[in-house]
Structure 1
Amino acid sequence: MQFGGRRKKNSINPQSELYGQHLQFYGQPPLENISLSEFETFAVERLKLLKTVENLGVSHVKLTDLYISKLEKELKALNFPYRPDADDKKSQSGPTEYEKRRKDHISHFILRLAYCQTEDLRRWFIQQEVDLFRFRFNDLDPKQQLEFLHKNNLRYDTISSEEKLKLKDQLINSSFGVSGITVMEHEFYKVPFQDALDLVRLRKVYLKQGYAYIPHQDIVTIVLNDFRTRLSKALALTARSLPAVHSDERLQPLLNHLSHAYVGQDYSIQKNVGKISLDQIDSLSGKSFPLCMRQLHQSLRENHHLRHGGRMQYGLFLKGIGLSLEQALQFWKMEFIRGKVDADKFDKAYAYSIRHMFGKEGKRTDYTPYSCMKVILSNPPSQGDHHGCPFRHSDPELLKQKLQVYKVSPSGINQILELVKGMHYQLACQKYFELTHNIEDSSFSLNHPNQYFLESQKLLGGGKDIKREMDAPQRSQENAASKGSTATQEVAANTSQHLAEMTEDLDSFFQDA
């Protein structure tokens, strides 16, 4: 496909120059044609990279040796640039540095299309790209950092030796790592204080008459602020072009997959149908259900009813852990007739929708249990609803009370609430998993409620009978329902199918992150 507008005969930024830098601001969009297959591959692999950046940023202190080594490992595994001084020689087992930089550049712009659609998506994308940029910038030596500043016309005023001598004591006291012996050897930049709010907040710079005096080793803060501002504006501009992008039937399903950030295991494929008995569900809900499903189960038991959103979310989850169609019909019917629904009304009003979930009615679509991102990004629950993600949709005080009832320790509740405050809802759920299973590190990246259940059963020793085959092929709902569709719809469904098949190992990818 073609990125950007018409290609000029004498391009100001030829590709050799565009991909010639290890680090960049992504100011110039790609100017070449790429295949749809390459488009998909680049998008998914950058998504894996940004997911790794997010997980490492929460589970490790940023830029520590362990954080750096793990991120370098992932950059190398995914064939993204990770060494600023790497040459352009092609190894026997991998692409050249030019090819890695090309992939880095193009994949960034692809995910811009997917993550410009809502404020939450933009915020997540910006944060991960900023963290990745910080890692790469700090990997440059001082000379390379200055070269980067000059190439990108980032001209910050350095103070003279006379001013440095005059402010010597203040600069020593306010700047970490600057001593009386080395102060004259350091470069200091004078910038408006609003461009260095992070350093001001940490009291790491000297302030005078509205200016902050920043030592060179902290210049990354200013560069990051510039990068964040540019990327935020670029995403807003990209969002305006979405109607034109969505008119392309090849790209729309792909971008929808990416923006929901889950392209992993398809839990609709049941390998252990009937392995769970109905009398096990109450016990399993207390020890192996994620909080979203635990609250749905509890609400169902208390009210003997769930609205459509709750029935879909919980019903598909139960299907995914192994409930057969016959068991599902029995389970829902027994519970509903305990409330205000008699058996005849259940058969007429509700049984059809349950059979529909299992692909036995309508278009015969084998519906997939909801992923974490689908639960988080779907319509929020209104009054009387119980679906959604408790970490995303609950009031913090109510969430705190719920966690107390479930005997989560006060320190654990504080950790969860901090993650919620930072909008790391899946990581908050993963922390809940660790606290309720008494482990320090869950060693997996949580992306799906059914994954939570399987990991819990595996940990508790109950996985032999319940755990499904994890190598089942991925299937998309669009592909399953594509029978009889037009040629255009078939192309869209095949695009989604291709993406799903290509990324069915995403869960296992994060096992060692």
Structure 2
Amino acid sequence: MTFYMKPPEGNIALKKLHQDAEIRLHFLYQIHQLLDEEQQMRKIFTHYPNLALNSECLIDGSQRDRISHFILRLASVKSKSFQIFLTDAETSLFQYRLLKGGEVAIKQSLKILRRHTRYALKHQLLNFHHQGLLEQIQEIVEQILTSSMLSCQKDDSCHHVLKVPWTMVSSLVRDRLVVVHGGQVDIPCHFLIQFLCSVFSAVLKHGIEELSSQRLDYEMSLSDQRIRAITQSLRHLFMSKCGGNHKLKIPYNITHKDVENESKFFPLCMQQLHKTLSRTNRLRHHARLRYTLFLKDIGLPVDENITFWEHFYSKSCKSSETGCNHSWLDNGGNRYKYSVRHVYGLEGGRINYTSHSCHALQVSIFNSIIFFVYIV
């Protein structure tokens, strides 16, 4: 199973390039609708015979498989929702391939990962974080291949564990499948596939971020008007399928009444915002936006999110530290209702916003500190 680290090589007709990318996008869309439903995923080609007739671009590791993947990656750069969709769907496809291939596929995948990691570290221009991730992956892959984890990965009673940084398996941490100790988590043998899927997702995210940050390379890729036209066409196709509002699949919805009890499980930054809100009944504008987005992405429906803020902003402000003295009664609460509906993609530009990443929050706080120091 390829991790799509190494860019594709060779020649392909422009028409075939476009067709393969569209076929892959259609296939990924169907997969994304059936996340975690393995039995139904097997029937996609039955239900959509046109995909079966043009499925050469989906043969794992083939040139057309890699080309169609990378052209979709290029098309996603300007759309955050496209990036989220692509990461989710490609990871689901990767997991399905591993499950179907068994131990042989897992071992092959690890060997490919080792080879491509070496290539990337030697030949690709990587930022500090991406390079660090690949170095960690290289070390861990060697541990797996030289251990007996592959032979007992289906044994729930096995006591073999692999210690990895929690940042490599953030999805497992998020779903509380593993416990963090000193920044490390223990990955048992029977979690090997989930671990590889987390690595695949992390590699893909970093690959897209690299493409986004290296503006010169990105613009050179689109300097060919034909490639630019294809990527625009693919974005339009994605918009038509997902309505421009790709939504993360959330296992359950919570209500505004659940937030207090659930807050003890929130990331520390969001716990702090919740404590400030509970103590003062107010948050500063940007803090309120961050917390609204976080509540949205953990499953709070739009009406429940509005009710949540109404509960606090209908009360009097208990402290001036938040710098906000507005009340829900101002303009009948329409200002806050609009703000919440806006981040759900129901107002304004109809963009379905997602939570800020840890890196984005850290950069924002760092810039605020620098600005404050400069002013003082």
The TM-score, its normalising length taken from structure 1, stands at: 0.37
Larger-Rg structure: 1
Name the TM-score, length of structure 2 as normaliser: 0.49
